[in-house]
Structure 1
Amino acid sequence: MNTNEIKDTFNQCKSKEESFRALVKISKTLSRLDTDFKIEVNAVTGCESQVWLLAQEDKETGLWHFQADSDAKLIRGFLAIILAYVEGLNSDQIQQLDLLSQLKDLNLEAYLTSSRNNGILAIITRIKELTQ
Structure 2
Amino acid sequence: MASDAFEEIAETFEFLDDWEDRYRTVIDMGKSMAALDDAFKVPATKVDGCASQVWIRPQIDGSGPDAVFDFEGESDAMIVRGLIAVLHALYSGLSVKEVTQVDAPAELGRLGLNDHLSAQRSNGLRAMVERIQTVAAAEAG
* TM-score of the two chains, using structure 1 as the length reference: 0.92
| Distance in 2 between residues matched to 1:102 and 1:29, nearest whole Å | 22
Contact 1:9–1:22 (8 Å) recurs in 2: no
Q: CA RMSD in A?
A: 1.6
Aligned-pair CA distance for 1:100: 1.6
Q: Which runs of 5+ in 2 are unaligned?
A: none
Identity %: 32
Residues 1:131 and 2:136 aligned together: yes
CA-to-aligned-CA distance 1:108-130 (integer Å, 9 cap, x gap) = 23432111111011000000111
| Distance in 2 between residues matched to 1:107 and 1:65, nearest whole Å | 24
Q: Which amino acid aligns with 1:34?
A: D
Q: Partner of 2:54 in structure 1? A: 51
Q: Which runs of 5+ in 1 are unaligned?
A: none
| Distance in 2 between residues matched to 1:91 and 1:31, nearest whole Å | 23
Q: Partner of 1:99 in structure 2? A: 104
Contact 1:64–1:90 (8 Å) recurs in 2: yes
Secondary structure of the structure 1 residue equivalent to 2:57: strand
Q: Which amino acid aligns with 2:45?
A: N
| Distance in 1 between residues matched to 2:7 and 2:135, nearest whole Å | 25
Aligned mate of 2:39, from 36, 39, 62: 36
* TM-score of the two chains, using structure 2 as the length reference: 0.86
| Distance in 1 between residues matched to 2:28 and 2:42, nearest whole Å | 26
Q: Which amino acid aligns with 1:59?
A: G
Aligned residue pairs total: 132
Q: Partner of 1:62 in structure 2? A: 67
Contact 1:47–1:115 (8 Å) recurs in 2: yes
